[in-house]
Structure 1
Amino acid sequence: MNIPTEFDEIRPYAPEELPQVFEELIADPAFQMVVNYLYPDTPFDLIAAKMRQCKTNLDFQMAFGYDFVKGIADKYCDSLTIDCSSLPDKKLSYTYVSNHRDIVLDAAFLSVLLIDNGMNTVEIAIGDNLLVYPWIKKIVRINKSFIVQRALTMRQMLESSQRMSRYIHYAISEKHENVWIAQREGRAKDSNDRTQDSVLKMLSMGGEGSFIDRLKQLHIVPTSISYEYDPCDFLKAQEFQIKRDNPEYKKTPQDDLVNMQTGIFGYKGRVHFQMTGYLNDFLDTLDTSRPKCELFTQVSNYIDRSIHLNYRFYPGNYVAYDLWKNESRFTDRYTPEEKQTFEHYINRQLSKIELPNKDEAFLRDRILAMYANPLINHLNAVSHEAE
């Protein structure tokens, strides 16, 4: 396939580029060290030989990624499930727009679940702020990731957004790949999931026709991701306090690595992906004579409601709501034992936070909010539907 050169800087590697990239990785001492850590019982030469046998990106994902992610799910999740029954046609290529909990695993879990349902993996939008080592940038591009460039001037940002949009449209229409992108830049640290209009504006920059036509060409599927436990909840709470006490604080690349490692190797309980419907059906109902800014907001709100309505709840969400609100509204949704289990979990997470001026009440409040907010949003969405 002749991929336009304008995408060379951001796109996943093409199959013909893989042999050279594999050799660069195999010769990289930092990559060797990571592989030896992940596969302590397998000689590196065997890993290298297996890499060289991979002819396509999907070959690499099946040879390494699939079993690795399955192993993470088996070890650190009680269950990993998906409901994609709302997709109109499994043979179509889709853009999955979802809430965002885990830096690595949201897209990785989704790809594994899609494979298990006879579908293709996703190309993944990933911020260049996470590509802190050369080997990471190579691995993610092998693994069908395209790069979202951050820290640009306003003019550069516009040009970058236009190019990324053109690439996403190209991936869907010409490469026939699925795409995953979060509904906002970065994770919602308080789990108050909201779609940023800027994401939709970016998606609509590519393609042909009206704003609505361009979004329809992407076959967008709002997707709700529910983790019973977020291993990074204590790190997110810690960041809330640090930013409260020092508004100038900025996360370092090392902080991102700690978040990635904690998210991958931490206990997650039950994890569920819910495809919430097909955005094109909603887009067909819009009044295109209205101002474009209103249409963006309507679409954002619809994606939000879809994600909020289809979130899957666990006892901890109901316990967190009652504790955070100081109510007993949902006592019929959990047992005393389940409440005790969740409270013990919160205390364990809080004990992991090491700050010189640790504000335990504030930190507890922030963690409870993370588990209560999806339920609050769900209740508001249900009320909206009933109006």
Structure 2
Amino acid sequence: MNIPAEFDEIRPYAPEELPQVYEELIADPAFQKVATGIMPVPFETIAQEMRSCTSNLEFQKKFFYNMIKQLLSKHSKGLTEDYSALDKSICHTFISNHRDIVMDPGILCVSMIDAGFSNTTEIAIGDNLFAYPWIKKLVRIVKAFIVKRGLTGRTQLQALNTMSRYIHFAITQKHENVWIAQRQGRAKDSNDATQESILKMLSIGGEGSIVEKLSEINIVPLSLSYEYDPCDYLKARELQLRRDNPDFHKTPGEDVLSMRTGIFGYKGHIHFQAAPCINKEIQELAIQYPKKTDFFPALAKLMDKHIYSCYHIFPSNYIALDWIEGSQHFKDKYTANDKLEFEQYIYKQLTKIELPNKDESFLLELLLKMYANPLINYLSVQE
């Protein structure tokens, strides 16, 4: 396929580029160390298997499918998914809440294979996560396209335009699915809200009216539900640091720690669920809200409604909200043992937070809100 050169800096590697990239990774000692740490086989075996993959999808299936499955078997109670609302013969743009840097898109691809999709998805990933050169190469092999962070002014606008055009190209010309988070970065308190800027960016590419542009990429709201978030204590720590220091900025090492914790931390049960494609609702909203200043806020609210309604609610969510409110309103949703286990888990996570001026009451409230907010949002959209 002839891919326009304007996408070269951000797109996934094309199949013909893979052999050279494989050799670059195979020769990288840092990649060798990580690969053998995750896959308990000789590196020569890994290298041989890499060289045998002739496409990005084949690499995903051969390496990442089994790797993610093994991680889930060790660090979760299992994965369920529901894509019954979708026509699998059509390529979609999945817009979801965002919990985990690596596992969200990784599990999404696995769940799509398990659900019988013929293809996985291309993944939007921020360049702030490329702490090491091998990470950038590896993610572009597994069908990630790069979101350029830290830009301002004209360069930022140009980058957004290019990314939007690429997403439309990926859907309509490459016939790939696309995944992008509903906001920049993870919602640290699990209070998920779709940023209008994401939707506006998607409306740049393509041809015709805003409705036609958005409709051609077949937007699907997607809900990612984790019983436990292994990065919860890291997120709470960051929120206190931001409270205490408005100029706080994360270091690259902190993102690497979050990636490692998310990959190897315990997640409990995991459920991914897709709402129906919203093309028809987009058309209805455009009639109801003809002005762009009204249309995009309404579209963001629609996205949130679908994402909230598709949450899988766990006992931990009910316990957290009862704990915050000092009530037993949802006591029929969990057992005494569920409550004891969750309380022990929260206090254990609290002890992991290392800060010189540790505000335990503030941090405890943050941890509880991370588990209560999905339930609060879910209840807010029930008829």
TM-score (norm 2): 0.98
CA distance in 1, matches of 2:239, 2:29: 36
Q: Which residue of 2 aligns with 1:215?
A: 214
- Does the Cα contact within 8 Å between 2:190 and 2:370 map onto a contact in 1? yes
CA distance in 2, matches of 1:44, 1:75: 22
Structure 1 residue identity aligned to 2:111: L
CA distance in 2, matches of 1:141, 1:271: 26
SS of the residue corresponding to residue 73 of structure 2 reads helix
Q: Which runs of 5 or more residues in structure 1 are unaligned?
A: none
Deviation string 1:66-111 (CA, Å, 9 cap, x unpaired) is: 1001111111110201110111x21110110000001011111110
CA distance in 1, matches of 2:360, 2:42: 46
Q: Which residue of 2 aligns with 1:112?
A: 110
Deviation string 1:301-339 (CA, Å, 9 cap, x unpaired) is: 000000111111111100100111222211121122211
Q: Which residue of 1 aligns with 2:48?
A: 49
SS of the residue corresponding to residue 226 of structure 1 reads strand
Q: Which residue of 2 aligns with 1:378?
A: 378
Structure 2 residue identity aligned to 1:12: P
Q: Which runs of 5 or more residues in structure 2 are unaligned?
A: none
Q: Which residue of 1 aligns with 2:293?
A: 293
Q: Which residue of 2 aligns with 1:245?
A: 244
Q: Which residue of 1 aligns with 2:8?
A: 8
Q: Does 1:200 align with 2:199?
A: yes
Q: Which residue of 1 aligns with 2:229?
A: 230
1:113 offset after TM fit, Å? 0.9
The range that moved more, 285-294 or 16-25, is: 285-294
SS of the residue corresponding to residue 204 of structure 2 reads coil
- Does the Cα contact within 8 Å between 2:39 and 2:67 map onto a contact in 1? no
The range that moved more, 331-340 or 168-177, is: 331-340
Q: Does 1:304 align with 2:287?
A: no
Select the residue among 94, 99, 124 that pairs with 1:101: 99
Q: Which residue of 2 aligns with 1:130?
A: 129
Identity of aligned residues (%): 57
CA distance in 2, matches of 1:164, 1:287: 24
Aligned-residue Cα RMSD (Å) equals 1.0
SS of the residue corresponding to residue 273 of structure 2 reads strand
Q: Does 1:142 align with 2:141?
A: yes
CA distance in 2, matches of 1:32, 1:314: 38
Q: Which residue of 1 aligns with 2:362?
A: 362
CA distance in 2, matches of 1:103, 1:51: 24
- Does the Cα contact within 8 Å between 2:211 and 2:286 map onto a contact in 1? no
Structure 2 residue identity aligned to 1:118: G
SS of the residue corresponding to residue 70 of structure 2 reads helix
- Does the Cα contact within 8 Å between 2:130 and 2:136 map onto a contact in 1? yes
CA distance in 1, matches of 2:366, 2:147: 29
CA distance in 1, matches of 2:192, 2:319: 19
Q: Which residue of 2 aligns with 1:315?
A: 315
1:39 offset after TM fit, Å? 2.6
Closer, same or farther: CA 329–169 of 1 in aligned 2, 3 Å: same
Structure 1 residue identity aligned to 2:217: L
- Does the Cα contact within 8 Å between 2:233 and 2:367 map onto a contact in 1? yes
Aligned length: 381
CA distance in 2, matches of 1:20, 1:293: 47
Q: Which residue of 2 aligns with 1:27?
A: 27
CA distance in 1, matches of 2:128, 2:56: 23
SS of the residue corresponding to residue 286 of structure 1 reads helix
SS of the residue corresponding to residue 96 of structure 1 reads strand
CA distance in 2, matches of 1:349, 1:29: 34
The range that moved more, 328-337 or 52-61, is: 328-337
SS of the residue corresponding to residue 77 of structure 2 reads strand
1:286 offset after TM fit, Å? 2.2
CA distance in 2, matches of 1:286, 1:247: 38
The range that moved more, 211-220 or 25-34, is: 25-34
Structure 1 segments, 4+ long, off by >2 Å, are 286-289
Structure 1 residue identity aligned to 2:279: N
